[in-house]
Amino acid sequence: MANILYVGLCWNVLPCMMLWMGTGMTRESSEKLIELERPPITERGILARLVLPGDSDDEVEESLAEMGRLMWTAGADVVCTFVQRRDKPCPATLLGAGKIGQIHAACEETEADLVVFDSDLTPTQGSKLQELLGVKVVDRTQLILDIFAQHAHTSEGRRQVELAQLQYLLPRLAGRGAVMRQQGGIGIRGPGEQKLEVDRRRIRKRIDRLNAGLETIRRRRGIQRKRRSEGAVGRVALVGYTNAGKSSLLNALAAADVFVEDKLFATLDPRSRRCALPSGRVAVMSDTVGFIRKLPHSLVAAFRATLEEINEADVLLLVADAAHPAVEEHIRAVYEVLDEIDVEHKPLIKVFNKTDIADPATVAQLVRGKGAAVAVSARTGDGLDGLRGAVDDELVPKRRRVQLRIPQGQAGVVARVYAGGRVLRQEYDGNAILLDAEIDAETGRIVEAFIVCTP
């Protein structure tokens, strides 16, 4: 692989190629999408990547394409890309001195505003690189945090992003704060200038206050989640790689109007909607924040309140873009995050979305893989009935059939059975109500004292 890639490309060529590679769409449809929805370009950026002996050419190509899409989403124009192969990273600057010199020359020639590294930099590396290059230096985590800051519209979302940014900033405050205070744009959004001027003690206090506020939000969300679940047979969480089409799928399944945009991390706040299943029962489906390879641990921790939708779910729908060339790598990345938040044991159905633009042979091969899988198109509606049926079947084992004898004075218990289950037969015996019903585990705990027998 050449050490310098795409040097001197005009501003509207590389991002177009990145979007086309990143979504699996046709080139014509992606160009039309860029014309309609492209964010305003505010900065010119250079992309740099260190390639280690264990990195394959396909991994490097896919990672660079993804970073280009991230920069496009953040509002940066990728003017050129540098790649260097080394046996191990340089402790001080990640890349070698010669390559840093080439990047510095490219910054002056292209009038670049920033250099983005496709890896995480240590505080020392970030400070040294910024000194040598004379422009803003942003690593992978900082770029993702910036995109989150742009897309955080609710109070909860802004709190979570600010917490993650402050946790990222704290160890870097002394080395880079003075330079960053004089600049703006990508990597600097969120806490803002005043946060860079406070000392570590005040930042830690702010982190403590944010954690306390998010804990309150977490408790309130738990109450809301319980209310939403009343009358539903189960909770379903849509998880997957960013931009896999989770929000579009939720809209299609639940006839909802959730915001959809062809950008990475367009969804930060969970959205829940009721979905009717073929059996007549109702499930609550929740859209969640998208995952990405090497998702920063600070984000996983900061978005704990949001990710609890996944922890509380009875079934997970792992949504994957069947048209993307790296779909299997995306699935592995999602499994890594699920393992990190300790929910890999939950029942899971793989949902291969965007089959209307995917290769049929590839889709057939993906569906034949290990585990339950369904092929759908949220845009055309193909396969949605089969997906609803698969969810219905997965939720059935969560219910058990019982016979109940409830005094007529316990009308609230009867109502709870109707809300949390399906009543097959109701009869009266003196002052008692006899119910033959299917109930979930939570309802079973509430009505345990009234169970006569289990057929």
Q: What is residue 41's predicted lDDT score, i.e. its pLDDT? A: 62
What pLDDT is attached to residue 234?
79
Tokens 């579009």 belong to: 248
Q: Of residues 10 and 54, which shows the higher confidence score?
A: 54
Domains 231-396 and 398-453 share a fold: no
Going by C-alpha positions, the residue among 8, 79, 95 that lies closest to residue 41 is 79
Q: Judge whether 417 and 450 are in contact, CB under 8 Å.
A: no
Question: pLDDT value at position 3?
Answer: 41
For the beta carbon of residue 392, count every other beta carbon within 10 angstroms: 18
Quick one: pLDDT at residue 108? 94
Out of 26-40, 194-208, 240-254, 309-323, which region has the weakest mean confidence (pLDDT)? 26-40
Domain boundaries, the chain: 4-138, 154-228, 231-396, 398-453
* Residue 406 clears pLDDT 90, i.e. is over it: yes
CA-based nearest residue to 440, from 414, 454, 413, 421: 421
Name the CATH topology of 231-396: Rossmann fold (3.40.50)
3 state SS of 98: helix
Q: Which residues pair with 211 in a beta bridge?
A: none
On whether the 398-453 domain is CATH 3.30.200.20, my answer is no
CA distances to 39, 239, 435 from 351, rounded to whole Å, are 29, 10, 37
Mean pLDDT of 94-98: 95
pLDDT at 129: 94
| Global model pTM greater than 0.85 | no
Assigned token pair, 43: 């900065």
Which pLDDT belongs to residue 187? Answer: 63
Residue 407: its H or E element: strand 399-407
Q: Inform me whether the pLDDT recorded for 83 exceeds 90.
A: yes
What would the mean pLDDT of 190-215 be, rounded to a whole number?
72
**Architecture of the domain whose range is 4-138:** 3-Layer(aba) Sandwich (3.40)
Within 10 Å of residue 293's Cβ, how many Cβ atoms?
Answer: 19
